Each structure stands twice: as C-alpha cells, then as structure tokens.
Amino acid sequence: MKNLINDYLNQEIGINIHDAFHIESVILKHIDDEYFSVLREKDQNTYHIPYFNIVRIVQNLEDNKGVTIGGLFQQKKNHQLVIKIGHIARYIA
C-alpha cells in the first residue's frame, strides 16, 4: 500500500474520512511503514490512518483527468488518487 500512495505525498487526494459514502479532498502529509497521515484543510485536523483500514485504492493513470468524485448535490472534482477506508456500520433502530 505504501508504494501505491508514495507518489502523492504533499498532494491533494480524495478519501472518505468521516463517512463511508462521502469522498472529500485532503492533503497527503505523511507516509510511514504502518500508517499514512492526511490534512483536512476544512478543520485543519490531521488524521492518521493505518494501512489495514484501507478497503480500496482507486487511480486513473490513463489520462490527466483522474478519478471523478461528487455527484447529485455537490460539484464534481477529480483526484489522481482516491482512498476508501473502512467504517464501522451504525445501526439506528
């Protein structure tokens, strides 16, 4: 996993940091052997995420557009790298 994200250090990437279904823009700030760190500029918080939390990594290396995120109620945005992390399911009765 580390080798896949290493080229994107200090660049903007997409990640579902707070919600399993919402990808937002962050800056990849640090890459370690067991985790990576991202800065969410919206709240200036740095999130440290272990690699075992990664569910999927999506790249589009075929063109310069990248992976398109966004949709119905938000403006579409492109990232060269999108990371999907696992979230604990919440059940509300």
Q: What is the pLDDT along the chain (93 residues), one digit of tens a residue?
A: 888 999 999 999 999 998 888 889 999 999 999 999 999 988 999 999 999 999 999 988 777 777 877 766 667 788 889 999 998 777 777
Containing structural domain, residue 17: 2-85
What number of helices (H) and strands (E) belong to the chain? 1, 8
In a domain, 93, yes or no: no
In a domain, 69, yes or no: yes
In a domain, 32, yes or no: yes
pTM of the model: 0.84
In a domain, 90, yes or no: no
Provide the domain count of the chain.
Answer: 1
User: What does the chain come to in residues?
Assistant: 93
